[in-house]
Chains A and B, each alone.
Chain A
Amino acid sequence: MSVNADQVRHVAKLARIAMSDAEVDALVPEFNNILGWVEQLAEVDTEGVEPLTAVIDLKLRLRDDVVNDGDCRDAVLKNAPDAQHGFFAVPKVIE
């Protein structure tokens, strides 16, 4: 499979990264080069092989359903580029 500029532009949109046409054009050959290289996996016979989901065999733990954190609003907001009235502020979403 190979990608063209429109597809790269679409992926950039999905990834929420603004890209100029020049950046998209530069990325197309790089993208295809990397995809072409990873596609060698197609030659591996994986019939009947389960995809690996946990590299070390672990059972997910459950913990008691109790509050063990919180009450730290100011610490949470401290690094925000724009915090107002105890909230994260963002550009207006609803007209």
Chain B
Amino acid sequence: MTLTTKTIAELRDGFRDGEFTAREIAEGFNAAVVAGRALNAWTVETPELALAAADAADAARSANAILPLSGIPLGIKDLFATEGVDSTAGSNILKGFKPPYESTVSGKLRDAGAGMLGKLNMDEFAMGSSNETSAYGPVISPWQRNDGGNAALTPGGSSGGSAAAVAAGMAPGVTGTDTGGSIRQPAAFVGISGIKPTYGRCSRWGIVAFASSLDQAGPMARNVRDCAIMLEVMSGFDPKDSTSLDLPVPKWEAGISSNLKGKRVGIPTEYRIDGVPAEIDALWEQGVEWLRDAGAEPVKISLPHTKYALPTYYIIAPAEASSNLARYDGVRYGLREMGAKSLDDMYAATRAAGFGEEVKRRIMIGTYVLSAGYYDAYFTKAQKVRTLIKRDFALAFEQCDIILTPTAPSAAFGLNEKMSDPLAMYLNDVFAVPASLAGLPAMSVPGGLDSQGLPLGLHLIGRELDEQGVLNAALAIEERAGFTARAEKWW
């Protein structure tokens, strides 16, 4: 019995019906994690935690006290603080950091009965789109091109380990985080689903901060229903996060429906950009037809400030990062380098040794745009444009209920192809960033394969708090795309 190919819903229901034990599930995934080490998806393996949760789940079943995620082992992105387990945000500056507390989101999953298979590799401090900025080295995608060349491809980033773990059958579901596309772009690159909820749905408490006005946690899994199951557990009000939404969590799984009758799907003109492969435009048009087939009516919309979203993001995110990352000073946790002798030397030496190149670059840009004399020209200007981007969406949602776009402007690319050109790397998130700036729920769902045999994703953006609408439209695509392709096992 191959349990590692099952979805979360199948595992949950099969476990409840007594088809298999939670221990069998955990042992199956623990073995897959070991067998998949060549992909470098994990920073820490915690098979003993997965087994302990499984034994608790088996006992709960005997006692008729099953929890929502009893029997489900998950992977947790290394950005989440996990009690007693190394939590390093993919950075040397946090090597060896074992938090004495658990992040709210991973704690909710744990309290719902889920086990933890380990921590997942990621771009350092979630700054990257290819997982290549990780202090642990890049994750290798389980996917390869069909040209027989065996070139190592990126699983995307920053949640690259998360994406690879699900695509390779090492975990049925994982947590990711998304600041400007870090759940959606990797989900698209490896042919899985991933949703970033409305800003404030998931508590940020215990998640290493990158850009606090943008950071959101979300699930990544094999299909849309599994994302709904996980998101329901991960969401909810948390008094420890000042921007947490004090609202009830909808029953997204129960409410899921691919009948889109009466819904209008907005197709934004400005998302048709130069240099995007024709295959991606073709898939986008196919996606429109799928949604039409599900009962929706396509409408053309305009989001006029789209082209300014990326430059806006690359002022705001580094500015917030430069402030958030000031805490890594060699005093309270993580690395310390002594430097020449003064306290200031110690700070500067620690940060020089502990941060990688991309993180330093962003801290520097952020420090510059916040510094005296430049603050208004860069930071305030970007915050004003952010207002306009948010307004674009508000106006568009007067004409439509959901927006459909491609997730990324290309399929997965090869390792080392874009590392030397930061701007080319940043362009990966051109379709993902606007929804982040506006705080809107957005999801990637697999649409098909390109001519190289690599997955392509479709991207749905919903109104504030309308995760249900996003999930439903994604389900309508999932049912029609019939995406069953899996990476052929070479590892």
Contacts and interface: CB of A to CB of B under 8 A. Distances in A.
A11 B374 CA distance: 12
Contacts of B360: 17
Interface in A28-50: 30-31, 33-35, 37-42, 44, 46, 49-50
Contacts of A30: 361, 422
Contacts of B335: 81
A93 interface: yes
A16 interface: yes
A16 B326 CA distance: 9
A60 B239 CA distance: 11
A38 B388 contact: no
A82 B388 contact: no
B347 interface: yes
Nearest to B311: A38
Interface in B323-342: 326, 329-336, 338-339, 341-342
7 contacts: A17-B364, A35-B365, A40-B311, A41-B308, A41-B382, A52-B387, A56-B439
Nearest to A72: B100
Which 10 residue pairs across A and B have the least CB separation, nearest first?
A51-B383, A55-B439, A81-B336, A79-B333, A18-B352, A46-B384, A18-B348, A75-B100, A38-B311, A52-B386
Nearest to B465: A56
Contacts of A19: 352
B364 A15 contact: yes
Nearest to A17: B351
B336 A82 contact: yes
A28 B310 CA distance: 21
Nearest to B438: A55
A40 B346 contact: no
A21 to B, nearest CB: 13
Given A30-B422, A35-B368, A38-B311, 15 more contacts: A12-B364, A15-B351, A16-B326, A16-B348, A17-B348, A17-B360, A18-B352, A33-B423, A37-B423, A49-B388, A54-B243, A55-B437, A55-B438, A56-B199, A76-B100
A88 B98 contact: no
Contacts of A39: 311
Contact of A60 (B199, B242, B437): B242
B330 A81 contact: yes
B367 interface: yes
B22 to A, nearest CB: 31
B181 to A, nearest CB: 16
Nearest to B365: A34
A58 B380 CA distance: 20
B312 A16 contact: no
Contact of B311 (A12, A41, A78, A79): A41
Given A38-B311, A56-B464, A63 B336 contact: no
A91 B439 contact: no
A44 B254 CA distance: 44
Interface of A: 1, 3, 8, 11-19, 27, 30-31, 33-35, 37-42, 44, 46, 49-56, 58, 60-61, 63, 72, 75-76, 78-82, 88, 90-91, 93
Contacts of A58: 200, 243, 245
A14 B367 contact: yes
Most A C-beta atoms less than 10 A away, residue of B312, B339, B346, B368: B368
A72 B101 CA distance: 11
B387 A49 contact: yes
Contacts of A88: 331-332
Nearest to A82: B336
A38 B315 contact: yes
B381 interface: yes
A38 B355 CA distance: 24
B344 interface: yes
A90 B352 contact: no
Contacts of B385: 41, 44, 46
A63 B246 CA distance: 14
Contacts of A37: 311, 314, 423
A15 B214 CA distance: 22
B216 to A, nearest CB: 10
B97 interface: yes
A35 B361 CA distance: 12
B395 interface: no
Nearest to B369: A38
Contacts of B333: 79-81
B154 interface: no
A46 B381 contact: yes
Contacts of B374: 1
Contacts of B200: 56, 58
Contacts of A15: 322, 351, 363-364, 367
Contacts of B437: 55
B302 interface: no
